[in-house]
Amino acid sequence: MYETSNTLRLKNLGIDTNQEYVVFLKRDCPACKSEGFVALHRVAVTSGDKQIIASLNIIETEILQSGQVGLSESAWKAIDAKEGNEVRLSHLQPVQSMHDVRSKLYENRLNEQSFDRIIGDIKDEKYSNIEIAAFVTACAGDRLNLEEIKSLTKSMIRTGSVLHWNGRRIVDKHCVGGLPGNRTTPIVVSIVAAAGGIVPKTSSRAITSPAGTADTMEVVTEVNLSLSKMKAVVEQEGACIVWGGSIGLSPVDDILIRVERALEIDSVGQMIASVLSKKAAAGSTHVVIDIPIGKTAKVRTEEDAEKLKYYFTVVGRSVGLKIKTIISDGSQPVGRGIGPSLEMKDCIQVLKNDPDAPQDLRQRALTVAGAMLEFDDPDIFKNGATAAEEILRSGKAWEKFVRICEAQGTFREPGSAKFKLDIRSTRSGIVKEVDNRKIAKVARLAGAPNSNSAGVYFLSPCGKRVEAGDILYTIHSESEGELEYAYEYVRSQTEIIQIL
């Protein structure tokens, strides 16, 4: 697979390129001259028995000598590098599956073998972020038909581990999203586990939202668990809530999500494959899918929701999953917190039965938990929502949540942001409409989810009467710069919250 190689000595440059593996060479390095290496070439980097594939960057200054090579921080860790170690650089033969990607860019249909080649090469880290972005873009919008979504889902499952739970019924849930603050998972999983259900919940980090479930859970506990640790937590407590990227289930999904996040793309076909590949790989047998509909949610119309419902059901069946869908209101944020810590505070209020807890979040969680209980054991839970409410009121769900967190490593209280800014109404009237996308953008500009205490505390649900000067929402941030950045955006918008 590889041609001639060149041996150089490692120098630690301390350059962070996030998850992208990058190798740095001086322009007058013999390897550049003899092998014709140029910037952005993909090259194999070998150190001992470890090998990665990295993108080449060329250095013009004296930071490197001609016989030295630098690596980005992620690449350095991947090959367990030490200063002065010898490494070999090799030409990488063209990645054949890029032919399939180019075919898809020209709107041709791909079969299961094509997706196997692409997903396998992405898993083996043969694709640069640019090449992954090409694949993500080629599949974005409505460019994947039903058969392609099935094939992509199966390919993603095959690239990683698949858990088995001794034939037990495993119930899980997923919300399609688009609603800021809609963090029902910690509540739902705790209720179902307290009722005796088995919920090995693997969750994603945010793609285009201010917080993913993994981001929110990381506020209070450890989410980067090994596969063996995750299984031990489930065996002990009946449930876990962990980051899927840490346990090797459908591992390519997390690579794709990383690029989707940078592009702010959340394709329907890839979203279905992402969700169902993770569920199947985690050993789930029954999955409840919540599809919110709203003008500024991901799903805008009932027609789109019905199509999505059909796709989830058919693709789920193709990988051995039974799917139940819930169509819900997606017109506005859920709860008050938007951002990891703020959302977790909402969840804790609900779990503790705090009278001041956001009732819309509580009710939505009970609806989903009820559907999961009925799915899990329809003979025992004939009215799942009622059973879920009884478990929540009894305090058993809160006790279970704390035990799950402690089993995962710890339980800590959510923190608070250093800087806050109230956004007040300039007029009196009734809140008519809230733009989910814009309020989510405010939270992201304030620093969420990277700063877990950043975000928006939302106080203006639709139908509420507000007076001029009332607080509509409060921006939370860890830095004055990000707070000002978010406020500049707020000042540039006129219709984040519509009051009539």
Residue numbers annotated as active site: 266
Residue 352: φ, ψ to 5°: -85, 0
List, as own/partner pairs, every contact residues 479-485 make where C-beta atoms lie below 8 angstroms and the sequence separation is at least 24, other chains included. 479/418, 479/419, 479/447, 479/451, 480/419, 482/445, 482/446, 482/447, 482/451, 482/454, 483/419, 483/421, 483/446, 485/445, 485/446
Omega before 186 cis (within 30°)? no
Answer whether 116's CB lies under 8 Å from 123's CB: no
**Interacting residues of 284 by C-beta distance below 8 A, sequence separation 6+:** 170, 171, 172, 200, 321
Q: Give the H/E segment covering residue 87.
A: strand 86-92
Answer whether 297's CB lies under 8 Å from 178's CB: yes
Tracing tokens 């733009």 back to the chain, one arrives at 435
Q: Which of 296, 451, 291 is nearest to 371 (CA)?
A: 291
Tracing tokens 């034939």 back to the chain, one arrives at 167
**Interacting residues of 219 by C-beta distance below 8 A, sequence separation 6+:** 340, 341, 344, 412, 414, 415, 452
Beta bridge partners of 68: 9
| Residue 255 to residue 161: CA distance in whole angstroms | 16
Answer whether 289's CB lies under 8 Å from 305's CB: no
DSSP state string for 410-465: --------SEEEEEE-SS-EEEEEE-HHHHHHHHHHTTTTTSTT-EEEE---TT-E
